[in-house]
Amino acid sequence: MFDAVDQILEWLTTQSPVLVALVILLYVALEGLLLVGVIVPGDLSLIIAGTTVDSVAEGPLVVAGGLGGVAISAFSGHWIGSHFGPRVRASRVGRWVGEPKWKQAEEVLQGSGWLISLTYFVPGLNALTPVLAGILGMPRRRFGFWAMLGGAIWVVGYVTIGALAGEAARQNEGLIMPIAAGVAVVAATIGFVMKKVVNRR
């Protein structure tokens, strides 16, 4: 298993930063457009992308890809919600998501702007807010501002965590699994704390 993880990490670091940035842009964009993030949260994709960063110059490129994905997800998701309305929520995918999650996202959107920003750190919830913001008729500029603010902190934070973990793993190959476990614990803890904050609103 150690060898397999090491090979995956080595393969990732050999890929072009431009390719990594494009892949992360596409995934983060689809997260809110097709509700992909409800199944596989974007946190993991950002951390993995971060592990490929092995120079100062590559970091901003990967971050830019993530920010581009956030912008596409936020504004396109809002457009879909405002034009197709409740049909999205009532669709097969919407029913699969479950009414409790839609209700939670709706309560967040009716709260302060900071809650919208914090949803990026709650796995699955940030995938629902763009479409639901459009359905509820929230002004695009207001939603976009808070979504981009939270998305920027989210992208920079998780890419940085991934970059630090990737560098530590390259310097200490025998500690790859403990480092991966540590990153998983950190990400889970952040998600848990943010979920508690959002639920308390």
Question: What integer is the mean pLDDT of 170-197?
Answer: 79
- Percent of the chain at pLDDT > 70 equals 88
pLDDT at 1 over 50: no
Q: Please give the single-letter amino acid code of residue 130.
A: P
Question: What integer is the mean pLDDT of 37-66?
Answer: 81
pLDDT the model gives residue 5: 47
Specify the higher pLDDT residue, 147 or 172: 147
CB 118 within 8 A of CB 88: no
- Determine whether 172 is exposed, middle or buried from the number of CB atoms within 10 Å of its CB (0-12, 13-18, 19+): exposed
The sign of the torsion formed by the CA atoms of 44, 18, 173, 155 equals negative
pLDDT bin (cut points 50, 70, 90) of residue 125 is confident
Residue range 158-183, pLDDT digits in tens: 999 988 888 888 788 777 777 778 88
DSSP state at residue 41? -
∠ CA 26-37-44, rounded to 5° = 80
DSSP state at residue 172? -
Residue among 36, 37, 136 at smallest CA distance from 85: 136
DSSP state at residue 120? G
pLDDT bin (cut points 50, 70, 90) of residue 197 is confident
pLDDT at 77 over 60: yes
pLDDT the model gives residue 11: 62
Residues 164, 50: Cα–Cα separation, whole Å: 8
Residues 117, 120: Cα–Cα separation, whole Å: 6
pLDDT bin (cut points 50, 70, 90) of residue 144 is very high
pLDDT at 152 over 90: yes
pLDDT the model gives residue 7: 58
Mean pLDDT of the chain: 81
Specify the higher pLDDT residue, 31 or 171: 171
- Determine whether 47 is exposed, middle or buried from the number of CB atoms within 10 Å of its CB (0-12, 13-18, 19+): buried
pLDDT the model gives residue 54: 79
